[in-house]
Amino acid sequence: MDLLGRNLAQVKAEQSGIPRETVMRVAVKAISILEEVHSRKYIHGDVKPENLLLGSNDPNEPLLFLVDFGLAARWEYGTGSHVEYNQQLGFSGGTVRYASVNAHLGRTLSRRDDLESLAYSLAFLLQEKLPWQGKYGERKEEEHFFVSKEKAETPPGSLFASYPEFTKFFGYAVNLGFDEEPDYKNCKSFFQERIGVNDSQMDSRDDHCPLTKQLRTGRPAAQWVTVYDPWLPTKQRCHYNVPEEFLPQFIARDKEQKLFISSVASCDGKWALIADAGTGFQSQVYHISPEFLPKEWIETQWGNRFYITAVAGSREGKSLVVMSRGNKHSKQEYVDSNLFPSSWVDKNLKANYVVTSMATSRGRWAVVMSVDSTITEQVIELDFAFPSEGVRRRWAAGYHITAVAATMEQVAVVMSKLRPRALKKGESGRQVVQRSSSFPINRIREQQDKDFYVASVCYGRTAS
C-alpha cells in the first residue's frame, strides 16, 4: 500500500491558503481522475478536499489521489443505459459543505454531481471559507435547506470572483443534464490555457469558452406557472387580480352557471380563480381566512363530508380554502410548515395518502394529503427553480402534474400516475406548462381554443 501525503484541506490549513496556479493544477488532475472513475461506470459521490491527497508532502507535487469510495455508486450497469432519474425527498448523500444541490434535493446522483462537488472544493481551496459555511438550523432539514438555497442562489461569477477559469468550470458543471456526458477535455482546457500565465495576464484574457446554456444562474425570479390539460370542449372561466372584497361576487356568479372552483392562487395581495364545468363536484363551500389555514372551519367541513380541493395563501398571511363534495377523496390530512414538509409527506405517502393540494404564504407551506383511489403512484419534484428536466423525465415515465405551488424560495411540482378512468373526457395525459411574469390571460384563451384548459396555477419562485 502506498503511503500518501496530506489531504488538500490540511495543506490549506497549514499554509493559510493555496496559490491560484497550484489550485488550477489540482483542478486538471482531479478532472482527469474523475474522468477515469466515470469511465469505469462509477461516480465517487463524496468529492471534497479531505478526499484529495497529494502523492507526497510537497504541495507542488504533480501526483494527486482521490480516496474514500464508500459512497461510490454506479451511473451505468454495463447495459449501455444510464441509471434512471429519480428524486426522493431527503439528502442523497455526501458531505453537506461540498454536496451538489441535486444531492440536497434528493435526486439520483450522476457524473455532473462529482464535478459540482469538485467546483465547491476548488472554491474552498481558493478562499477563506465558502458562503454557506456556518449555515445551520435546529433540524437537519433546515441545515440542508439553508445550505442548498445558498448554493443555488450563488452565481458562478460570485463564487469565483476574479477567477474566470474557475467560473467557467463551475458554470459548466451546474448546467449539465442528468445523463449528459461531461466534456472532460474542455473542462481541463479552462485551466490548462492559463497555467504558467501571471495573474494580470489571466484576468485580462478573453473568455474563449462561453457557456452555451444557462440552467442555473443564481438570479432568483418569480413567475406564474400555469398547467394545462387537454379536454373535450368545456366551459372554463378565469378571474385574476381580484380584490378580496369582490371574491364572493365572482364566486356566486360562477355558481349560478354551475361552474365550480378548480384552482386558486394569489399574487400581490389579490386573487386568481379558475372555475369550470368539468370538475364533477356536487357542491362547494369556501372560506377567506385572516390566518393561513382556518383549522376549525376545515374540521367542521370535514364533518359535513367536504374535502379541500383548492387552497391558496397570500403574502399578507391570509388564505382562501375551497372544499367540495363529489370528489374522490375519502380521508384527508394537512400540515402547515415553515419548510416543505418532506418527512411528513414521505410518511403519509407510505400510508397510502397522496398530495392533492398545496399552498404557500410568507414562505410557509400548506400541504394537503388525501386517500384518493384515482392516483396509483406519486412523486414530488422540489427545486429552487422550476424543475423542467425532472418534469420532462416524469412525463416520459407516464406521470401527470396534479398540483404545483411555490414560495419565493422554492417550487414543488406534484406528479402522479392516474388510473385511466380518472382522466377527464378527452384527456390524453399530454400536458402543457407555461411560465409568465404576469397572469397569462391571453395565453389561457389561446390554449382553450386548442382545447387545453387550466388544471392548476400558482405564483412564486420559478427561476434561479
32-83 pLDDT per residue, tens:
999 999 999 999 999 999 999 998 655 555 589 999 999 999 999 888 899 9
Amino acid 86 reads: N
Most confident of 1-10, 149-158, 318-327: 318-327
Model pLDDT, residue 212: 43
* CATH 3.40.190.10 is the classification of domain 8-204: no
Question: For the segment 230-256, what is each residue's pLDDT rounded down to a tens digit?
Answer: 988 889 999 999 999 999 999 999 999
Q: What is the pLDDT of residues 216-235, one digit of tens each?
A: 665 678 999 999 999 888 89
What local confidence, expressed as pLDDT, does residue 58 receive? 58
**Where are the domains positioned within the chain?**
8-204, 221-463
pLDDT over 60 at 208, yes or no? no
Whether the CB-CB separation of 45 and 114 falls below 8 Å is answered with yes
Please give the pLDDT value at position 413. Answer: 98
**pLDDT tens-place string over residues 399-410:** 999 999 999 999
Residue 199 has pLDDT above 90, yes or no: no
- Which whole number is the average pLDDT over 446-455? 95
* Region 115-139 average pLDDT: 90
Residue pair 63/56 in contact by the 8 Å Cβ criterion: yes
Identify the pLDDT of residue 63: 85
Q: What's the pLDDT at 137?
A: 66
pLDDT at 93: 87
Answer yes or no: is pLDDT of 354 > 60.
yes
Question: Is the per-residue pLDDT at 330 higher than 70?
Answer: yes
In this structure, of 91-95, 299-303, 371-375, 417-421, the range with the lowest mean pLDDT score is: 417-421
Q: What percent of the chain has pLDDT over 70?
A: 90
Distances (CA, A) of 253 to 21, 283, 334, 450: 70, 15, 30, 26
Q: Which residue has the higher pLDDT, 144 or 266?
A: 266
Taking only the tens place, the pLDDT of each residue in 259-271 is: 999 999 999 999 9
Instruction: Categorize the per-residue pLDDT at 210 as very low, low, confident or very high, splitting at 50, 70 and 90.
Output: very low
Annotated catalytic residue: which of 2, 46, 346, 372?
Answer: 46
**Is 346 annotated as catalytic?**
no
Question: Model confidence over 167-195: pLDDT tens digits?
Answer: 999 999 999 999 999 999 999 999 999 88
Q: At residue 394, does pLDDT exceed 90?
A: yes
Q: Across all residues in the chain, what is the average pLDDT? A: 90
With 90 as the cut, is the pLDDT of residue 424 above it? no
Q: What is the pLDDT of residue 205?
A: 44
